Amino acid sequence: MNGLELIKQAFALQPVGRIPWVPFVGVHGGYLISTDAETYLKSAEKITAGISKAIELYRPDGIPVVFDLQVEAEVLGCDIRWSEAGPPAVVSHPLAEGKSLKDLTIPGPDDGRLAVCLQAARSLREKYPDIALYGLITGPFTLALHLLGTDIFIKMFEAPKEIHAIMDFCSRTAQKIADYYMQAGCDVVALVDPMTSQIDRQTFDTFVKPYVTPVFEQVRQNNKLSSFFVCGHAQQNIEAMCDCKPDNISIDENIPLDFVKEIALEKGISFGGNMKLTVVLLMGSEEDCREHALECLDLGGNTGFILAPGCDLPRETPSKNLITVANLLNDPYQQEIVRTLEKKESTLEIFNMKDYGQADKVIVDIVTLDSESCAPCQYMVEAVKRVAPYFEGVVEWREHAIKKMEEVSFMSSLMVKNIPTICIDGKIAFVSKIPPEKVLVAAIQQRINEKLKLKIKSKKSEIILLGKDDEKFQELKERVNRAQTELGKDLEVKIITDQKNLASYGVVQLPAVVSVHYKIKSEGLVPSTEVIKEWLKEL
């Protein structure tokens, strides 16, 4: 099934085999093709190239053409200021600076950067017929705020008629822009109105609802899909947003996903969100992204849910983080691994593995999900099984299936992050990729050689001479010294003449020679019982 169909299915609240995903690539598209935000947002070619790159990397089911809520405002006369790393900001508000509504006309498709956005939409449509294309329009309240500035908040109380007139204009503008995007081939019209997060339910019902509802209605009449995005803390308005009758609502990390799910499904509309933009996607590690994405997937469920970031992606979001999300989404094995690990991590006990792998035998550990149900795990275990006979008696191998708690602890203790992984004597050797037989044999052989070297180095012996201070004992000492010299050995020679100590060596007749072999097994730490047992086996 292609992405567009999958999105349609989710919008229709039909259960899906795989949850669809829509990364909100805005100026991040520019980042992908090394272009600053301003150059990017002013060029249909650049936008097309950036989004194409995003599609190639992130394998989305749907994607916005442009994420810039200043396009309409700029056409309507707001001054904007560009920055390198983000979408532009509105810096002047015509309706607060002498202009009146009569001076404004609804933008046409060729006006300002609208032409650029629509051209990009057409090119992407042609290039990607199977992906849901989102046309983003500035919500009426956010547009009104651009036009009037923050006076809008106080004027809602002091001059409500004026605000209603402005909202009406912004609503008609939104309907027109929706039309342009649909004609350019977009499948979904997303009305983005973040400023509505700043007002209460009653104000929303009075000043927003009557002006966004017709936009969604119009999209429906054109047999296209609509979505209502609100970035920001809009929890108080979720129900009111649903009552405006969009086909989908999309929210950000400020609002708990399960809360939105409950309301949206009750109202019979689909919902999306709400991956954390900064602490996870922008600043987090790949593991953070995997865990967090899975958390969203499990909360959202397979009916009516679309995985998406909470709002537009920061420009410099590392691609590897988003690729990680895409990989997870397409790989049920990986999801199960992350799920298993996540559940168990809280009660995890970390073993001290500093001295692991010091036994005579070389230990090969294979960390798997479960070699019976996970194909890559199975192949990895088989690879080890195949080479083990070459090292009969020298190598011992074990599988650690992380479905068991103690194996998860073992995995974490070895600092293994990926499944499957082969460790040789406690060191990570092969991650995810199954090594060819020769490579695996060489790796094990190398470890055996290392150990041999170590063994020779670390062996120390001592000779203890027991006796009375008599002639016989003198003779013995001389002979031992001579033997040492002839052999070129450097042994520790300990002389014991104290009668009381003799008995402790079990010696009855004097003089006597006792030899002792030492081997340093560990230094400066208390080895775990598991490890000590390995050593004891050698004796």
Partner 1 sequence: MSELLAKIAECIEFGKINKAAPFPPQMKGQEGADELTRQAIDEGIPAQQILTEGLMIGMEKVGIKFRENKVFVPQVLMSAKAMSTAMMHLKPFFLSGEVKEKGTLIIGTVEGDLHDIGKNLVSMMVEGNGWKVVDLGTDVKADQFVAALKEHQNAIVGLSALLTTTMVNMGKITKAIKEAVPEAKVAIGGAPVTDDFRKKIGADAYSPDPQGLVEYLNTQVA
What radius of gyration, in Å, describes the C-alpha atoms of the chain? 35
Within 10 A of 496 (CB to CB), how many other CB atoms are there?
A: 17
Name which position in 14, 39, 278, 446 contacts partner 1 (CB under 8 A). 278
Contact of 318 with 376, CB cutoff 8 Å: no
Q: Of 2-10, 77-85, 402-410, 496-504, which part binds partner 1 (CB under 8 A)?
A: 77-85
The residues in 507-536 that bind partner 1, with binding defined as CB under 8 A, are none
31 vs 356, which CB is nearer to partner 1? 31
As given in the structure block, the two tokens for residue 522 are: 């560990």
Residue with tokens 């037989």: 437
**512: which strand partners?**
466
27 vs 136, which CB is nearer to partner 1? 27
Shortest distance, position 202 Cβ to partner 1, whole Å? 10
SS3 309: strand
Name which position in 2, 14, 39, 83 contacts partner 1 (CB under 8 A). 83
Residue with tokens 């990729």: 433
141 vs 216, which CB is nearer to partner 1? 141
What one-character-per-residue DSSP string does 443-491 give?
HHHHHHHHHHHHHHHHEEEEEEEE--SSHHHHHHHHHHHHHHHHHT---
Name which position in 52, 138, 175, 203 contacts partner 1 (CB under 8 A). 203
Which of 210, 161, 215 is closest to 189 using CA atoms? 215
The residues in 145-164 that bind partner 1, with binding defined as CB under 8 A, are 150, 153-154, 156-158
The residues in 87-106 that bind partner 1, with binding defined as CB under 8 A, are 89-91
159 vs 513, which CB is nearer to partner 1? 159
Measured in residues, the chain has a length of 539
Name which position in 251, 277, 402, 408 contacts partner 1 (CB under 8 A). 277
SS3 356: coil
Shortest distance, position 60 Cβ to partner 1, whole Å? 19
Q: Of 59-67, 196-204, 291-299, 409-417, which part binds partner 1 (CB under 8 A)?
A: 196-204
Angle formed by the axes of helices 209-221 and 140-148, nearest 10°: 130
If one asks whether residue 198 binds partner 1 (CB under 8 A), the answer comes out as yes
Let me know the angle formed at the C-alpha of 89 by 84 and 94, rounded to the nearest 5 degrees. 145
Shortest distance, position 89 Cβ to partner 1, whole Å? 4
CA distance 333 to 419: 9
Q: How many residues bind partner 1 (CB under 8 A)?
A: 32
Contacts of residue 524, Cβ cutoff 8 Å, sequence gap at least 6: none
Shortest distance, position 310 Cβ to partner 1, whole Å? 9
Residue with tokens 């865990």: 291
92 vs 302, which CB is nearer to partner 1? 92
Angle formed by the axes of helices 151-158 and 160-183, nearest 10°: 120
Contacts of residue 523, Cβ cutoff 8 Å, sequence gap at least 6: none
373 alpha carbon, distance to own chain's centre: 24
For the chain, counts of helices (H) and of strands (E): 22, 16
Question: Pattern of binders to partner 1 over 11-30, x per CB under 8 A?
Answer: ----------------x---
Q: Give CA separation, 314 vs 66, 159, 202, 271, 277, in Å.
A: 14, 37, 32, 22, 7
Shortest distance, position 154 Cβ to partner 1, whole Å? 5
220 vs 233, which CB is nearer to partner 1? 233
**227: which strand partners?**
190, 248
Question: Pattern of binders to partner 1 over 281-300, x per CB under 8 A?
Answer: -xx-----------------
Question: Which conformational region is residue 307 in: left (phi greater than 0), alpha (psi within -120 to 50 degrees), or beta?
Answer: beta
152 vs 423, which CB is nearer to partner 1? 152
The residues in 205-234 that bind partner 1, with binding defined as CB under 8 A, are 231-233
The residues in 307-336 that bind partner 1, with binding defined as CB under 8 A, are 311, 314-315
Q: Of 132-140, 183-191, 193-201, 499-507, which part binds partner 1 (CB under 8 A)?
A: 193-201
152 vs 401, which CB is nearer to partner 1? 152
Binding site for partner 1 (CB under 8 A): 27, 81, 83, 85-86, 89-91, 150, 153-154, 156-158, 198-200, 203, 231-233, 235-236, 254, 277-279, 282-283, 311, 314-315
